[in-house]
Chains A and B, each alone.
Chain A
């Protein structure tokens, strides 16, 4: 495998980990987060500062990045997740911008807008894939647990969920926390793959890209999240020959999906042995009338 393809695959994994968190928070719990890149930045900078300045082992630095990002989720979540409406979404938007500006201005610690160079490149493809598998398994188990059902209930009807004794604030905060941990992990892996981070990598564009992946793949499908991260991360690279037009094609594809299939590519469908069997039955069932006609 060429280094180039391997690089794209690592980026797919990095994006996918952040998208899985968003899928849980936005897709399954119904809370829009427009500032996912801000949480990635917290994870990336925490981990990168620890490995470059303090020679902290990579694994510990990644964990510290995750925890810092998780901590940030409480700072944003506790005041805004109790409220109904769009306050939370706006707060995440503001948070991401605040993080970016903070990083730009704390030059002594973060290197300001010039960023942090010479970060050791510890992130390898097997490590990235391993992290994806662990994250995917944890999120998949979670959404199918009683806690995951409570999250879906809150998304479907928060008032009704409260009326059957579900503490909606608690479950929203847990989803937000798990989301932030995954975003922090994603940021840490990114920093130690690219070897260099700067504030502009974690702007509005990055946040938008990630939430577009969740919506594109299907808000209530982890399969969709995997599919979207794979396609939408690699597509701009595949279309690199078309140069300036590739981002237009990217945008057009997203618009097309939203018009043709607003629930996202996968909708609510999940890849599982049972669902594959059902799909196979549907395909084979169509052939039976034809056989009957022959007789």
Chain B
């Protein structure tokens, strides 16, 4: 059974068909990529999976459960975490608190215990801090833990956003253009990092990316989108020589 099963999903905004009968099955533990020119509907697919948009038609099941029409926090709680194309951290919260907030399901103390200090609250908070600290170690941000996240350099913010997503211990991680705005060195660092978390957490990852070296270097399975439709799917080797893909990106050859 596929971990995430998207069946014939269509999303229309008025007259615009952003995603047109899109289908995709993600197997547990594999690394997938969706590529396509700007406006092909890639981010819309992420927003459909995470419940920010509701599909006009189609079915999405996660782990065998229907997630259509659920609110975003429910879908997140089921084990789908994501990052955003334009980084969305909590700017005024410290680096540590950004991650601690995402760990909140590992503390059980109630709203009433939020109003008064209790031993359980103290213990729970300690667990959260330890968890968050481990994740900051993973993304190498412990030396900036106390800083406001808005003061971090761009590359660090990207890493922090991934740490925040990992803090939920998701089954599926959606990365929306993680290498956007990165130089070749940073991109290489990011690729190694994604490879590492993919293996250590046995994560299923779906990524959207424009950097072809990232996509070709990481993904085992690539879907190519154009105008909301899947025009090709296959391994990196297959995609690179697919004439339909080349046409979508470069235009067709004139006879």
Contact = CB atoms under 8 A, between A and B. Distances in A.
Nearest to A220: B92
A291 B69 CA distance: 67
A145 B113 CA distance: 9
Contact of B72 (A150, A162, A174): A162
Given A141-B116, A164-B101, A174 B73 contact: no
A138 B90 contact: no
Contacts of B114: 141-142, 145-148
- Residue from A147, A152, A268 whose CB has the most chain B CB atoms within 10 Å: A147
A174 B110 CA distance: 12
Interface stretch (B12-20, B75-83, B183-191, B243-251): B75-83
Interface stretch (A165-173, A230-238, A250-258): A165-173
Interface residues on A, range: 20 to 34
A146 B117 contact: no
Contacts of A247: none
Interface in B44-103: 50, 52, 71-73, 76-77, 81-82, 84, 88-93, 97, 100-102
B89 A174 contact: no
A141 B89 contact: no
Interface residues on B, range: 35 or more
A19 B185 CA distance: 51
Interface of B: 50, 52, 71-73, 76-77, 81-82, 84, 88-93, 97, 100-102, 104-105, 107, 109, 111, 113-117, 121, 124-125, 128, 164-165, 167-168
Nearest to B161: A160
Interface in A91-148: 138, 141-142, 145-148
A161 B89 CA distance: 9
Contacts of B116: 138, 141
Contacts of B167: 164
Contact of A174 (B52, B105, B111, B164): B111
A166 B113 contact: no
B73 A149 contact: no
